[in-house]
Amino acid sequence: MINCFVVNTLGTLSRQEIVIRDEILTGRGYVTISTNDENGSLLTLTSTPAALATGSGRISLFVLNRGQTLVQATWSGQDLLVWQRVNENVTLTTAPSCALIAPGRADCFARGSDNPMWNAFGDIVQATGALR
């Protein structure tokens, strides 16, 4: 089974399970995933999500919100996620591109509004780290 994540036209995140059987792909329909932050506020998402398989049944998601700042959540089979802001002080202009650099550690890159490439890194379970 493959889980595909997309930001829909309402600015929320949707997930589709895709099953591969006998070399045939079958989608099971879209499920909307919660986009509330740690304060309970609804986030509007604006970029393509970056998804990293971070463990058995765990996918860390990184995406820009309406304020063009990076937010992160980890999906582990439940569609009720709490999104955490990685850094509210940096405005980004491109969708994040992320890579797993070690178990539980990610590097994300995106272009800033001042034009240089910014790098967010850190522990993806707690969404810590710095944006520089």
Whether 123 shows a pLDDT value over 70: the answer reads no
Give the residue from 56, 48, 50, 74 showing the smallest Cα distance to 128: 74
Mean pLDDT of 45-49: 93
Dihedral through CA 8, CA 54, CA 79, CA 130, nearest 10?
-70
Mean pLDDT of 5-29: 89
Whether 124 shows a pLDDT value over 90: the answer reads no
Residue 73 buriedness (CB in 10 A; 0-12 / 13-18 / 19+): buried
The pLDDT-based confidence of 130 (bands split at 50, 70, 90) is very low
Rounded to two decimals, the pTM is 0.84
Whether 128 shows a pLDDT value over 50: the answer reads no
pLDDT at 131: 39
pLDDT at 127: 38
> Any idea which of 32-41, 104-113, 118-127 has the lowest mean pLDDT?
118-127
Please tell me the distance from the alpha carbon of residue 62 to that of residue 49, in angstroms, as a whole number: 6
The rounded mean pLDDT for the chain is 85
